[in-house]
Amino acid sequence: MFLGKEIRLRRLLNRKSGRLLAITIDHPITRGVLPGLVDIRGTMAKVVAGRPDAITMHKGIAEKVFPPYAGEVAMIFKSTAYSTAYHPYYDAPVADVEEAVRFGADAISVGMIVGGPEQATQLTHLGKISKEAAMAGMPLIAHIYPKGSLVKNSADPEVVAWAVRVGAELGVDIIKTNWTGSAESFMKVIEACPSRVALAGGEAGKSLEDYLHVTREALDIGLAGVTYGRFVWQHENPTAVIRAIAALMHNNASVKEALEVYEEAAASR
């Protein structure tokens, strides 16, 4: 591994656990300006206060909102975007590795929708970014979802396992994907992927306790990280939520202990 990549990975991954707790705030192009992201400066402050390992963002937010927190938390530079309303099967390139380096990013992130004819162009782009990231010593993260136009069940563990393996085959270091519904089924995903597997939030639960249970189950079978978004910054206390997740991931806490961390952090607002 090139030294530059090793340095960036050490900034990205938690020193204690070796895992990644990332918060994504890259949703507006994909899903609209959701509650929780309207006041992006306020949300950024609350997220950073929770001390995640990294935050995923697009370049405009990195330039306009992130500077006061540079050095406090790692930056994952998002380089593609799709829209559930207008182009749901195609994650379009919007930035590149050269920009990620210029912004001082610790990793570059590429989104990809697989499972349909639309994936061909995205495969080509991921292969290109993988080459450029390797040459720059930049860790590569991919959000790979089997939600293409030919996929009948995006939570099918066989389909999800194939999706993450696509990323591993093309040199991705950390692959974010969706939960398959149980630890037993998600084990197939982890076993199929020699790269690190991270869990997306999305529809993994409805409450904080739901997400903590899913996270704990996934960690117990070898999950390497989480990249959660909506359920964190739409919660009434994002800072406390992040600290509860961190207790699970980095201190090996139980769900009960993580909820206690949440209550203590929420009470100290």
**Which are the catalytic amino acids?**
26, 145, 176
Locate all alpha helices (DSSP H) within 107-237, ordered by sequence: 119-136, 157-169, 183-191, 208-219, 230-233
Q: What is the DSSP letter of 241?
A: H
Q: What is the Cα–Cα distance from 91 to 39, expressed in whole angstroms?
A: 25
For 161, half-sphere exposure in the C-beta direction (CA atoms, 13 angstrom radius) is 12
What are 125's two structure tokens? 């782009």
Helix extents (H) in the chain: 3-12, 28-31, 40-49, 59-64, 97-102, 119-136, 157-169, 183-191, 208-219, 230-233, 238-251, 255-267
How far is Cα 231 from Cα 136, in angstroms, rounded to an integer?
33
State whether residue 95 is helix, strand or coil. Answer: coil
**Cα–Cα distance for residue pair 173/130, rounded to 1 Å:** 9
- Tally of residues, the chain: 269
**No. of helices (H) and no. of strands (E), the chain:** 12, 10
Q: Which amino acid is at 217?
A: E
Structural tokens at position 194: 């020699």
Instruction: Decide if 160 contacts 204 (C-beta within 8 A).
Output: no
Please say whether the beta carbons of 44 and 66 come within 8 A. Answer: yes
Tokens of 25: 């705030």
